Structure 1
């Protein structure tokens, strides 16, 4: 009997290149990828044996994690995903998206090709291996290194690389891991996570009213700068971006419902300052006008 043809795998990027750890000469590296024109909705639930460092250079996409937590990753930010945590890319928030990733087994990182001492690896583990996904802002040096790595991956030879090419790639990856770890120094405490939870509850309760973030910070009992930094670490977004996304979601639900409020009434009910601004935001986030959403 003829054998069934394998089903084609869905394309997840308009342009993607992946390098295995073996090609770099460092066996603990599980994969290194560079992607352009990312199609988030095509990435299904999965997990990695190692820590994943996902570096967004442009665009924005939403990620969902086991347990229901969601984070939006935007350009010039990184996402640290712990080993074994199931996750998926839920949707593009802003495109085109350009990103690179490094997945590494930090437990076995001392194997052949490792550029770090054991003490240095211990330092990396304490700053890259957590129990929750974390969003961190790129430092200027990390941003430059991430862009160089993205270019190097696409220029990597299809054949086995020469020793100098593999060595340069390993050192570039090592530099990125160091900078990603340093970007995590001084991460939010449990109290700051609680502040963000309180802020989100306040935003969800009052999204339909004019809100000033200085007043929200005062309501939850912290400074504006601390509020913004903690909110970004916990959600991947600024409080303003999070509130705008919430208002958009609420508006889209009303536009798709059976009730018949006017577009102006929906704009007012979801906290938008004007009908014109409402239409502008809905088109920016969805590519369609409010009227087009209403007619399906």
Structure 2
């Protein structure tokens, strides 16, 4: 659906299927008052984004982190900036709550927002001669904002060889390996023991999943690094942002290289990376809050 006069560019609103267009009506009114055309998509996002890409200056995603990731994969190849609105449970990737959106549209129209660049990943599947794609495998290269995961679909181990820029990084038995962007370092990679990386840092991290080797640890590499993962033994599936998947047998490999760049729109007052870590995943905080004692108050006997 398109409304508004054709005076500036357009602002698109990509909504989670559980939402209705009415939730963004106040923001659309602001956008149209500021001279933007507006369009919304819920049922046909792939087709609608492709149809309206020309002239669209901003794509607003309304949902959780999954909706933001989906919108990012559609917008980045078309050089459309993305603004995320949280309607989910965690909302680590999104920038604001729904009630803040009309003011954010005003700020965007006035040029009072910040554009933050995010590197994405592209994964190309190379199968052993004679192996055919399985039914349902995603066609072509996989694109991810968060991560590319190569892992066993069962309880059996994989033997993997990982090379970085054609130099051996490691060969190990494990459940799999995750290659995450700086943005994705706080997702699957973090839960697997990887380091959180500020998304302004141009880096990726390679995180083995439950490796059977005590010296195998996550590593941070420049985002320009090309990482190749070869399946030496076992069968694996490859997932980009936990959604698009392909299967791979022994002798196959995955080549992960820099993908398209995403522009994320941030507003004044947007939470910092460290604030998000503290608020969303309680990073660096005690499991049980400790009440601060008044300065000079005596401690109970025997307490350090």
- The TM-score normalised by the length of structure 2 is 0.29
**Structure with more of its chain in strand, by fraction:** 2
* Larger relative contact order (Cα-Cα within 8 Å, sequence gap ≥ 6): 2
| Greater per-residue helix proportion | 1
How high is the TM-score relative to the length of structure 1? 0.29
